[in-house]
Amino acid sequence: MKLHLSIGQRLALGFFVMGALVFVASSIGVWYSMVTGRAIDATQQGIKQVEGAVNLQLRWSEVAAVVDNMLLTRQTSLVEQQLENTVNEFNEQLIAVQNQPLGQSPEVVAQNQKIVGDLQLLGAELTNIVAELKAVAQEGRWARAQTLRHTELASIQRRFDEAIEQLSANIQAEVDGLAIESGRTQNIFRIYWSITVIVALVSGIVSGVLTIRSISRPVNDLIEQVERVTRRDFSPVTPLSQRDEIGDLSRAFVLMTDWLRESYQTLEQRVADRTERLETVAEVSERFSAILNLKELLGEVVNQSKDRFGYYYAHIYLFDDTGEKLVVAEGTGEAGEAMKKAGHSIPLSAPQSLVARAARTGQAVRVDNVREAPDWLPNPLLPDTHSEMAVAIILEGQAVGVLDVQSEKIAGFDEGDVGLLRSLANSVAVAIRNARLFEEVESALSEARAAQQRYQEQAWAKGEDSEQYGACDYQQSGAPLLDQKIVTQLEQKAMAQDRPLITTVNGPQASSPAEGVERETDGMQSALLAPIKLQDQTIGAIQLHQTETAQQRQWSERDLALLEAVAEQVAQTAENLRLFDETRERAGREQAIREITDKLRAAPNLDILLETAARELSQRLDVPHTVLEMGIETQNLKPKT
């Protein structure tokens, strides 16, 4: 079963193992110290016991020496006190041996206790015999004393020495055993200590390697995952399976990577949406700039805003002539048509209107939930409105209207929509200015065209009575004359048309060769007619006739195109000639005025001035009589010739 340990637990386990090994080694050392100490203590006690036995034997030897000295010198009074002292010392040493520890093992202790008991009995017998020997010696029975000394006392002494030797041998044997056990313990300690050190080293190395690998490998994997993220590789990452801090960090990193991936994708989507919106705004703005009709422009603005950006409703308010009201200029759907027909308007000072507030401030006004907005003006035609945004249409620093869009969603607009509608409102402002300028230019151009047409009509109408009006009837050699009545009828017919046409003198007409009259039609002759038009004014006509006797031809599209081109060139050239004649006439008139003015300025006095003026006017205008008056009585006038 795989253990899932945290890094702290692994480190704690490693320290615990090392501590356990150290504890084992320390325990072995303590055990060795205790065993060695016990061996040393036992050895010291054995040495003391041997010394006690030796001292006991020595004390008995001293007692025997005093007895021998007494028997040798036969002077009891001299050695009596010494004998008593040595006997007392012997008894004290015997008691000391009896009170000492008699070994370590129970068997040795039992044997030594038995020996010590025997020594006590022998010591008592020795003491009694010494006392008896002393008494016999005091009585002077030295032979008896010698007998006691060499028989009973010697026998007891021999037995006593044997017991002492046995006690010393037992103690020495136990001490030797303890020494051997101590040596064996040292060997075991060395083995255990070596094993413990080796196990500690191996455990430390293995634990360290495993701990390092258990930390370094997942850390390297985690670093690799981080490097992938730094390369913007947000592909799904599998978290590490281990149940430790690094595993927790890996799972947190996976969550962070998922969040980054979603955020990055969301950001990419937002950038793509914003780019698409900007492209849409650019496309729509370009479309707006191409529309020069204001009504068509406003309809396109609201419809494009609703359709391209998915808004619930969109409409445009424009200021009226007073600049105090915002009037619905265009809106989407039936609601927009209804408000436009009703002339729906909002006062600029209206406190309960987002449109009025946007127009007053010149800023974008956005409300995420209009039902909770105190300054929202509800519209019964738009019951599903939940959020609204109004953007002022600014033209040259002045608000000219408001673009208002609505959504059926709560918080249906974001900052992207604010920037989008601002850009759209700026484009609408430019388009409105262009449309208004175009209307002004169109109006001025229409007035200029109307004035020019009136002038041309007057000029050509005046030209009909002058040499500018003319006609030409060209006919080939041998061709019959045309009936003037028919020519007049066809001229009227041609001038009533807008384009060249094929007709018959006594039949139907056609505007193209495919619709033309069959040449084989008996009793009919065809004619090709074309109006001579100068702009929208017809100033003449061209007729091409075929005679009944001539071989009929089939008129073609090329004939019509040629006739139309010639008619256009005739009209333009005739207009140029008329203008040239007018210019020449105006130049001649201005030249005459300059010449008369020069002559008048050269007159030295009033009479010559008047005479010069009268003569020049009479000559220039070809009139027989010219009269000039300047504050002079009429009866004093004299005719000048």
- Give me the residue spans of the domains in the chain: 7-206, 290-441, 485-516+524-572, 586-636
How much is the pLDDT for 469? 59
Phi, psi of 277 (to 5 degrees): -65, -45
SS3 content of the chain, % helix, strand, coil (to 5): 65, 10, 25
- Separation of alpha carbons 529 and 37, rounded Å: 151
Domain over 485-516+524-572 is classified CATH 3.30.365.10: no
Across 276-286, b (16+ Cβ under 10 Å) vs e yields ebeeebeebbe
**Token code pair at residue 254:** 């996976």
**How big is the CA angle at 179 (ends 173 and 181), to the nearest 5 degrees?**
100
pTM of the full structure? 0.45
525 to each of 436, 474, 478, 556, how far by Cα in Å?
55, 18, 17, 16
How much is the pLDDT for 234? 65
Per residue in 246-287, pLDDT tens?
Answer: 677 777 777 777 777 777 777 777 777 777 777 777 777 777
How much is the pLDDT for 405? 92
List strand residue ranges (DSSP E) for 452-573, in order: 501-504, 509-510, 526-534, 537-545
- Separation of alpha carbons 410 and 121, rounded Å: 121
- Separation of alpha carbons 363 and 628, rounded Å: 74
> What residues have CB less than 8 Å from 438, skipping those under 6 apart?
292, 293
How much is the pLDDT for 519? 40
Beta strand 509-510 with 398-407 is: unpaired
The DSSP annotation for 77-100 comes to: HHHHHHHHHHHHHHHHHHHHHHHS
Please tell me the CATH code under which domain 290-441 is placed.
Answer: 3.30.450.40
Per residue in 24-57, pLDDT tens?
Answer: 777 777 776 777 776 677 677 767 777 777 777 7
Which residue ranges in the chain fall short of pLDDT 70? 1-10, 14, 32, 38-39, 42, 46, 75-79, 101-105, 108, 234, 236-244, 246, 456-470, 478, 505-524, 547-553, 632-641
How much is the pLDDT for 327? 93
Contact 13, 203 (CB under 8 A): no
DSSP state of 517: P
Please tell me the CATH code under which domain 7-206 is placed.
Answer: 1.20.120.230
Q: Do domains 7-206 and 485-516+524-572 have the same CATH topology?
A: no
How much is the pLDDT for 392? 92
